[in-house]
A and B are shown apart, each in its own frame.
Chain A
Amino acid sequence: DIQMTQSPSSLSASVGDRVTITCQASQDIRKNLNWYQQKPGKAPKLLIYDASNLETGVPSRFSGSGSGTDFTFTIRSLQPEDIATYYCQQANNLPPSFGQGTKLEI
């Protein structure tokens, strides 16, 4: 099965900062990579699909890039409401699998 490695596992940033999270797959997953946001006590929310496509209604400060085994998730200008844990998820092989998450703090 495909292993997903996210880094860093936690991150402290300030409002307005540019924040970058990386995700590496253990094998080529083409562009089959999604990003989710989970706030405390809430279900996860899909932000980015197919590596770089913004889900409907998601603010444009969120973006994703990459293909193959290396992927990047970026928040262009961090807002207070972005405090959450972020997960990557490979969708190349069924069933899909998640990275271990990146906890973002201000």
Chain B
Amino acid sequence: EVQLVQSGAEVKKPGESLKISCQGSGYRFDTYWIGWVRQMPGKGLQLMGIIYPGDSDIRYSPSFQGQVTISVDKSINTAYLQWRSLKASDTAMYYCSRLLAGERAEYWGQGTLVTVSS
């Protein structure tokens, strides 16, 4: 059974750093793209970027280039989303997903709620 399990909810202060994770199981992790999706409170889905664990090829959406870092450790089947300096506007639910051929998200993690507040 394919599963994507994300790390737990986080509460952070502005300016702090953060790294959240998404661990895949039940499939060959290095042969499917992993995508990160932001959903701000009451808003729609925004694809932040995608990574191919096989060769760490990363494609950022223009709005998120330079704002976050996507990485992967394929030895432990885990993808990461990282911020160096959080802002209040980073408060959102973040989902990871497995994309078939980098195109459609067939499987999703349960989401990680990130709250940034002073």
Contacts and interface: CB of A to CB of B under 8 A. Distances in A.
Contacts of A36: 45, 105
Contacts of A97: 47, 61
Would you call the interface of chain B mostly helix, strand, loop, or mixed?
strand
B49 interface: yes
Q: How large is the interface on B (under 10, 10 to 19, 20 to 34, 35 or more residues)?
A: 20 to 34
Residue from A36, A44, A94, A100 with most neighbouring chain B CB atoms (10 Å): A94
Contact of A43 (B44, B49, B104, B108): B108
Residue from B45, B50, B97, B106 with most neighbouring chain A CB atoms (10 Å): B45
Contacts of A96: 35, 47, 50, 99, 102-105
Contacts of B110: 43
Interface in A36-66: 36, 38, 43-46, 49-50, 55
Interface of B: 35, 37, 44-47, 49-50, 59-62, 95, 97, 99, 102-106, 108-111
